[in-house]
Amino acid sequence: SRDALAQALEVLRAARPTAVNLMNNLDRMKVALAQADFAAALGQEALRLVEEDRQLCDNIAEAGSALVKPESRLLTHCNTGGLATAGVGTALGVIARAHQQGKVANVWVGETRPLLQGGRLTAWELGELAIPFQLITDSMAASLMASGQVDAVWVGADRIAANGDVANKIGTYSLAVLAHYHQIPFYVAAPHTTLDRQCASGRDIPIEQRAASEVTGAAGSFGSVRWAPEAAAVCNPAFDVTPAALISGWVLDTGVIVPEAVKAGAFQP
């Protein structure tokens, strides 16, 4: 029923407070839900969203691949490919397009703890695309950068604030700090729909808190295991915020936004 779908829409909205793309798409589905023939309207709007996302991803891949230098060894975090989007992906879409152009020597894939989206998803996608990669634990990134084995870092974004701050999967901020220290370019790839111009800065982005069980152990097809003491207190934010000052470029479907443009107010409402 319309009422049941409306309730489900609000439950979904409340479940993921950090990612703004979900909010934007739910707003559009809510308009469709208000139509007389809401079932048909919802289906049509969903298909439009899918096609739009495919085009957004293609545009991001084209803009971002121009920044990838030949024989690049790239490092990425979480999953930003076809499993996370309707198209080729954002950061992973850039990497895939650069690989097609013969410019990718290797991709370092951070596991992305605690849910291992890098180890489970990105590694699988790169394998399917025949892109050379090596899986690493998140804590290995610093050592690789120090030894000169990383030429650039590419990540996605769940929300971009008006001042250029970026919320993304937990661990992204750490990579940005490391890249800045080692003078390695750090790029964010995302569609323009990820911009939240009403959000002044990263301090205003709500951060989703996840279940303690994700940190105290693991569960999967193998069953479940707990390695932490029963009484262990847990802090498990799903995202962190990377300040704009640490970002070398924001690669959107509309083109590449450079730091100077962001400082001049490119993302301001």
State how far the alpha carbon of 88 is from the alpha carbons of 37, 51, 65, 80, 81, in Å.
32, 12, 13, 9, 6
Q: Which domains does the chain have, with CATH numbers?
A: 57-213+221-263 (3.40.50.10470)
**DSSP string computed for 30-96:** HHHHTSTTHHHHHHHHHHHHHHHHHHHHHHHHHHHHTTPPTTEEEEE-S--STTTSSSS-SHHHHHH
SS3 220: strand
pLDDT tens string, the chain, 269 residues long: the values are 999 999 999 999 998 899 998 899 999 999 999 999 999 999 999 999 999 999 999 999 999 999 999 999 999 999 999 999 999 999 999 999 999 999 999 999 999 999 999 999 999 999 999 999 999 999 999 999 999 999 999 999 999 999 999 999 999 999 999 999 999 999 999 999 999 999 999 999 999 999 999 999 998 889 999 999 999 999 999 999 999 999 999 999 999 999 999 999 999 98
Q: Which of 158, 165, 240, 253 is the catalytic position?
A: 158
Q: Does residue 158 carry a catalytic annotation?
A: yes
110: which strand partners? Answer: 136
DSSP H helix total and E strand total for the chain: 10, 13
Rounded to 5°, angle at Cα 172 from 240 and 258:
105
**Pair type for strands 186-189 and 152-155:** parallel
Cα(17)–Cα(32) distance, integer angstroms: 22
